[in-house]
Amino acid sequence: MKSRQSWAELYAFEVDRAADAPVFRQIYQQLRLAILSGTIRPGTNLPSTRELAVRIGVSRSAAVAAFEQLLAEGYASGKTGAGTFVASDLPEPFAAVHGRKKQSTSSAKTATSSREPGGFGDVTSQSEERPFNLGRTLVDARTAELWRKLSARSLRSFGCHHLGYADPHGMLELRKSVSAYLQAARAVRCDAEQVVITAGTQQALDIVIRVMQGPDKEVWIEDPGYSLTCLALVAAGAKVCPVPVDQHGINVTQGIRCAPRARAVFITPSHQFPKGVVLSMARRLELLAWARESGAWIVEDDYASEFRYGGRPLASLQGLDDGERVIYIGTLNKALFPGLRLGYAVVPASLVRAFVTARHLMDRQPSSLCQTVVAAFMEEGHFASHIRRMRAVYRNQRDALIAALRHRLSDHLTVDPPDQGMHLVAYTRRGLSDVTVERAAREHGVIVRAMSRLYVEAPVRSALMLGFSGYPRQIIAPAIARLAQVF
Ligand SMILES: Cc1ncc(COP(=O)(O)O)c(C=O)c1O
């Protein structure tokens, strides 16, 4: 059933003629945000362009151009004689990212968040198993067998250190292994004291947010960026300032212009999520200088650096930091498997206590049994060989996916082959909407994520994100054949 109940919300929308963005784009962005946030519900009959133009005092052509953009991107659908409707199958994991932002068209781009519960969208979509979902990993027979053996060994020595409350900081043996690994592989400057074991990136982000203390803190996020970072910040009442990402990574100058006194910046410098670009050295230095001068924290999410397939290895940003401004976050949930729920943060000495206390207040400590198994896995050299083997497997799967996409879909998609990571980005051609493809692909049993959903304010680029790490070579070609039917 079509509904018009939420259309009244649009009366609050504004157009700023002094803003850089053209009027049609402002209307489009506001409608898109309202749709993604659920303010205007799926199936809602939008007003005619004439009606809208009169309501908000713009030319009819601006309203038409805004609607055309929404139609092209699949946010709306048009029916001759029946008007334009908000697409009825839009609830998506990333919707809430946009939805938490206050609508803004003025030159001040800092988004204000709301703290009411709900409206988080479907954040469970990563549990979807079909190809080519993001963030999935494979574990080969060797690792599986070792895991069984090490778990059995840990259980055999099941003693008081497994049974009771333990150090919320994390098990010392594991912290030592993580510290040695990060120094060698990522040029991170740290000792075991600075390493805090977490349940993964998501918990580390949550702890950072708590340690920053209090709502209404301004923070920069990448635009486009990782939706779960943005959601966690917004849920905590932070004021999120989306900073555009170009081919050199986050645009630091624009960040400073947008929120010079921001408390923190959340970034993925080694392999920007989702675009896959690397933060240039010039930008790294600019960012560090700003953080030093302003006292801001840089939160470095180094989520997939284990899987680098070519080019020079890239050191962490934390390793360049003389001023103790970087909080480095890594995860074992990607290097091993997401169900593990273990990761770590490397924290400047001045923050360790606050960090450990926050962790303790959240859920006391990591599971002792899991930590014992992982510590042995690392200590005995299995982690390094697991990474080496899986790197080869994922490279192979990446190549198979690129070949299949180029073979079947080169008329519709331009593939950007990644040097690193677990997903690739394929830009749509000829104005094809990634949202439309995403939706149709799902009906053919294929999961592709529309990158446009990860944008907040920066001009959207239509592209599909395809995860390759979780899918053996033999299922890649048939899945791409199914995807090809969509086009
Ligand atoms: C940008 C980014 N960081 C971190 C992670 C890993 O998160 P976690 O350790 O909470 O599983 C992901 C997983 O999808 C990611 O995309």
Mutational test site, ligand 1, from 97, 126, 127, 201, max ligand atoms within 8 Å of CB:
201
Say what the pLDDT of residue 82 is: 72
Of ligand 1's listed atoms, the one at least distance from the Cα of 134 is: 14
Query: How confident is the prediction along the chain (487 residues), in pLDDT tens digits per residue?
Result: 444 444 545 556 678 887 777 888 888 877 877 776 666 777 788 888 888 888 888 899 888 888 887 776 667 887 656 788 887 765 443 344 444 443 333 333 333 333 233 334 455 566 778 999 999 999 999 999 999 999 999 999 878 777 889 999 999 999 999 999 999 999 999 999 999 999 999 999 999 999 997 777 899 999 999 999 999 999 999 999 999 999 999 999 999 999 999 999 999 999 999 999 999 999 999 999 999 999 999 999 999 899 999 876 678 999 999 999 999 999 999 999 999 999 999 999 999 999 999 999 999 999 999 999 999 999 999 999 999 999 999 999 999 999 999 999 999 999 999 999 999 999 999 899 999 999 999 999 999 999 999 999 999 999 999 999 999 999 999 999 999 999 9
Query: In the structure, how many helices (H) and strands (E) does the chain have?
Result: 17, 15
Say what the pLDDT of residue 5 is: 44
- The pTM of this model reads 0.80
How many angstroms separate the CA atoms of 370 and 377, rounded? 11
Say what the pLDDT of residue 216 is: 73
Residue 52 C-alpha to ligand 1 middle, in angstroms?
41
Q: Is 198 in the pocket of ligand 1 (CB under 6 A)?
A: no
Residue 238 C-alpha to ligand 1 middle, in angstroms?
20
DSSP for 377-413?
Answer: HHHTTHHHHHHHHHHHHHHHHHHHHHHHHHHHHTTTE
User: 350: exposed, middle or buried (C-beta count within 10 Å: 0-12, 13-18, 19+)?
Assistant: exposed
Say what the pLDDT of residue 94 is: 39
DSSP for 344-362?
Answer: EEE--GGGHHHHHHHHHHH
Q: Is 462 in the pocket of ligand 1 (CB under 6 A)?
A: no
Residue 49 C-alpha to ligand 1 middle, in angstroms?
41
Q: Is 334 in the pocket of ligand 1 (CB under 6 A)?
A: yes
Of ligand 1's listed atoms, the one at least distance from the Cα of 331 is: 9
Q: Which two tokens stand for residue 67?
A: 């609607």
Q: Is 417 in the pocket of ligand 1 (CB under 6 A)?
A: no
Residue 274 C-alpha to ligand 1 middle, in angstroms?
11
Residue 227 C-alpha to ligand 1 middle, in angstroms?
10
Measured between its terminal Cα atoms, the distance across the chain in Å is: 29
Residue 350 C-alpha to ligand 1 middle, in angstroms?
26
Q: Is 229 in the pocket of ligand 1 (CB under 6 A)?
A: no
Say what the pLDDT of residue 98 is: 45
Of ligand 1's listed atoms, the one at least distance from the Cα of 338 is: 11
Say what the pLDDT of residue 167 is: 95
Q: Is 69 in the pocket of ligand 1 (CB under 6 A)?
A: no
Say what the pLDDT of residue 29 is: 76
Task: Give the residue from 460, 429, 462, 431 showing the smallest Cα distance to 448.
Answer: 462
CB 259, CB 220: distance < 8 Å: yes
SS3 467: strand
DSSP-derived letter for residue 121 is -
Residue with tokens 């950007």: 416
Residue closest via CA to ligand 1's atom 14 equals: 135
Of ligand 1's listed atoms, the one at least distance from the Cα of 202 is: 10
Q: Is 271 in the pocket of ligand 1 (CB under 6 A)?
A: no
Residue closest via CA to ligand 1's atom 2 equals: 303
Mutational test site, ligand 1, from 303, 451, 465, 466, max ligand atoms within 8 Å of CB:
303
Residue 302 C-alpha to ligand 1 middle, in angstroms?
9
Q: Which amino acid is at 233?
A: L
Residue 201 C-alpha to ligand 1 middle, in angstroms?
6
Of ligand 1's listed atoms, the one at least distance from the Cα of 226 is: 1
Dihedral sign for Cα atoms in the order 96, 100, 102, 108: negative
Say what the pLDDT of residue 313 is: 65
Query: What are residue 105's phi and psi, to 5 degrees?
Result: -125, 0
Q: Is 226 in the pocket of ligand 1 (CB under 6 A)?
A: yes
How many other C-beta atoms are found inside a 10 Å radius of the C-beta of residue 192?
A: 16
SS3 240: strand
Say what the pLDDT of residue 10 is: 59
